[in-house]
Amino acid sequence: MAFGGGCATAPSSREPANLDRLKQVIRAYVGSGQYQRDIAAVTERAQAWLKQRVARRAPGERLAIVFDLDETLLSNWGELDADDFGGSDAAWDAWMGAGKDPAIGPVRDLYRAARQLGVEVIVITSRLEHLRAATERNLREIDCADLAVLRMKPEAAKDTAAAFKTAARARLVAEGHVVIANIGDQDSDLVGGYAERSFKLPDPFYFTP
């Protein structure tokens, strides 16, 4: 008599996707080049919008474009992959403090296109203020140092990324900027308004509220 042969059951429909398999899918997405192609498709739409909007610029308008930083202008893929999508806060702080993130090419091209069109570039990031010097050095390394504003999160801030970034854009508008485009990889980079158009880049790696 056989025992246990018929005990296997199908997984519950409520069971989440297996984490290891999801990691494999993400690595394949990046390794195949599809991730980069999806980024390029978004930045192409953003560039088209910039050209249209600059062409009808009103006299005296102070046009600006807002960029997020991590997984938008700068890539942390090397560290994400090496840490198997984990890592401690201290390890991430050290990584960002090294200032060695490579540029995400299509987004850097968008940055340069904006500057050539006479649009001010503003970076709003949830990186904390103690990383300012390293971040500025990193931006110089990728030839993106001619930005108008680098707004970083205060050390003691407790608000979400969404709240911080919305307030930062509201401040820009109050100061007289016309934010014609907002580029980011997280919904929290884009919600809250204070931008004429928003462009969402793909990011299957992590979630920032």
Mean pLDDT of the chain: 94
Rg (CA), the chain: 20
pTM for the whole thing? 0.92
Per-residue pLDDT, 5: 53
Can you give the pLDDT at residue 14? 84
For the record, the structure tokens of 160 come out as 């979400």
Q: 17: which residues sit within 8 A by CB, 6+ positions away?
A: none
Q: Which two tokens stand for residue 186?
A: 């997280």
Burial 52-85 (b: 16+ CB within 10 A, else e): ebbeeeeeeeebbbbbbbbbbbbbbbebbeeeeb
Least confident span in 24-28, 55-59, 90-94, 185-189: 90-94
> Does residue 3 carry a pLDDT above 60?
no
Give the pLDDT band (50/70/90) at residue 7: low
Q: Alpha-carbon distance 195 to 209, whole Å?
A: 19
User: Does position 95 have pLDDT exceeding 50, yes or no?
Assistant: yes
Using alpha carbons, list the distances in angstroms from residue 204 to 8, 104, 161, 170, 172. 32, 15, 18, 28, 29
What CA–CA distance (Å, rounded) separates 57 from 51?
10
Percent of the chain with pLDDT over 70: 94
Superfamily (CATH) of domain 19-200: HAD superfamily/HAD-like (3.40.50.1000)
Give mean pLDDT, residues 10-28: 88
Is residue 81 predicted with pLDDT exceeding 90? yes
**Residue where the block lists tokens 């580029």:** 183
- Which of 100, 106, 103 minimizes the C-alpha distance to 82? 100
Torsion angle, alpha carbons of 14, 15, 16, 18, to 10: -160
pLDDT tens-place string over residues 141-166: 999 999 999 999 999 999 999 999 99
Domain ranges across the chain: 19-200
**Res. 13 pLDDT band, cuts 50 70 90:** confident
